[in-house]
């Protein structure tokens, strides 16, 4: 069984998806981390993220694996590196390269086959797992998303000005929404959840309740 959670940057998807997976006894797939790993490999090899041919060659030459909560690129733990400002920026550019999307979608479907997963990203309900019976689309107003992103950066010892974070979020949203393949879009059968002003507990309670209703409690572990 697959539960998909999509939405723009800073809407609270990762935290919500991780907690929902824990409550249901599912595995959790952070697909943004996969695009970030490709971006990190490009930065590491001095490949221009706008150079589609070079990015396509890079994605064909790397392996991406998850080990517990860590992400490995060619066996190297890049969990921290993929969260840098440089990798974040490059991720939203390489994510528009068709060869990158094809490979990430293939890996996501392969990982999820035969497992119970909560997957989180931009295209999970619309493109990657269109048959999922339980899809969510998380949103929040841009100001709140920028505040959350800044808190996340600060918790990792990084700093930034709220205006810059907001501008980056608006830019990334625009790139994510306007790309031709796998754009950020709400699946027609997704449940939209506006997380503005809600605590993470409130959001996860709602997601858990709705998931249990949709998937049938008998198939799920009790919380």
Indicate whether 35 belongs to the interface with ligand DC (CB under 6 A).
yes
Cβ within 8 Å of residue 18, ≥6 positions away? 28, 30, 118
Do residues 190 and 136 touch, judged by C-beta distance below 8 A? yes
Stretch of 53-61, 119-127, 157-165, 211-219 lying at the interface with ligand DC (CB under 6 A): 119-127
Measured from the CB atom, the residue of 49 and 121 that comes closer to ligand DC is: 121
Indicate whether 195 belongs to the interface with ligand DC (CB under 6 A).
no
State the minimum distance, in angstroms, from the CB of residue 203 to ligand DC. Answer: 16
Measured from the CB atom, the residue of 132 and 212 that comes closer to ligand DC is: 132
Measured from the CB atom, the residue of 26 and 182 that comes closer to ligand DC is: 182
Starting at the edge strand found earlier in the chain, the sheet holding 191-194 runs 27-30, 117-121, 2-6, 134-139, 191-194
With CB under 6 A as the contact rule, the residue among 71, 118, 122, 165 that binds ligand DC is 122
With CB under 6 A as the contact rule, the residue among 95, 203, 207, 215 that binds ligand DC is 95
With CB under 6 A as the contact rule, the residue among 139, 176, 190, 195 that binds ligand DC is 176
Torsion, CA 160, CA 161, CA 162, CA 165, rounded to 10? -50
Indicate whether 149 belongs to the interface with ligand DC (CB under 6 A).
no
Q: Record the tokens describing residue 208, joined without a space.
A: 């858990």
Q: Record the tokens describing residue 48, joined without a space.
A: 């221009």
Q: How far apart are CA 18 and CA 166, in angstroms?
A: 24
β-strands 134-139, 191-194: how paired? parallel
Measured from the CB atom, the residue of 4 and 211 that comes closer to ligand DC is: 4
Indicate whether 81 belongs to the interface with ligand DC (CB under 6 A).
no
State the minimum distance, in angstroms, from the CB of residue 144 to ligand DC. Answer: 16
The 8-class DSSP code of residue 82 comes to G
Indicate whether 32 belongs to the interface with ligand DC (CB under 6 A).
yes
Exposure on the CB side of residue 170, measured as CA atoms within 13 A = 9
Contact footprint for ligand DC (CB under 6 A): 9, 31-32, 35-36, 91-92, 95, 121-124, 172, 176
């Amino acid at each position: 069984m697959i539960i998909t959670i999509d939405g723009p940057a800073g809407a609270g998807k990762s935290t919500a998806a991780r907690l929902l997976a824990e409550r249901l006894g599912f595995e959790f797939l952070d697909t943004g981390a996969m695009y970030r790993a490709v971006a990190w490999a490009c930065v590491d090899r001095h490949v221009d993220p706008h150079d589609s041919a070079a990015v396509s060659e890079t994605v064909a030459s790397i392996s991406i694996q998850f080990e517990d909560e860590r992400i490995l690129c060619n066996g190297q733990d890049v969990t921290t590196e993929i969260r840098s400002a440089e990798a974040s920026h490059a991720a939203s550019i390489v994510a528009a390269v068709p060869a990158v999307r094809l490979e990430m979608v293939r890996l996501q479907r392969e990982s999820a086959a035969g497992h119970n997963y909560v997957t989180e990203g931009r295209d999970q309900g619309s493109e990657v797992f269109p048959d999922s019976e339980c899809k969510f689309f998380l949103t929040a107003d841009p100001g709140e998303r920028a505040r959350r992103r800044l808190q996340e950066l600060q918790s990792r010892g990084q700093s930034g000005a709220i205006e810059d974070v907001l501008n980056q979020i608006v830019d990334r949203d625009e790139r994510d929404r306007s790309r031709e393949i796998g754009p950020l879009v709400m699946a027609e059968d997704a449940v939209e959840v506006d997380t503005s002003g809600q605590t993470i507990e409130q959001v996860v309670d709602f997601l858990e309740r709705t998931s249990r209703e949709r998937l049938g409690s008998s198939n799920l572990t009790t919380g």
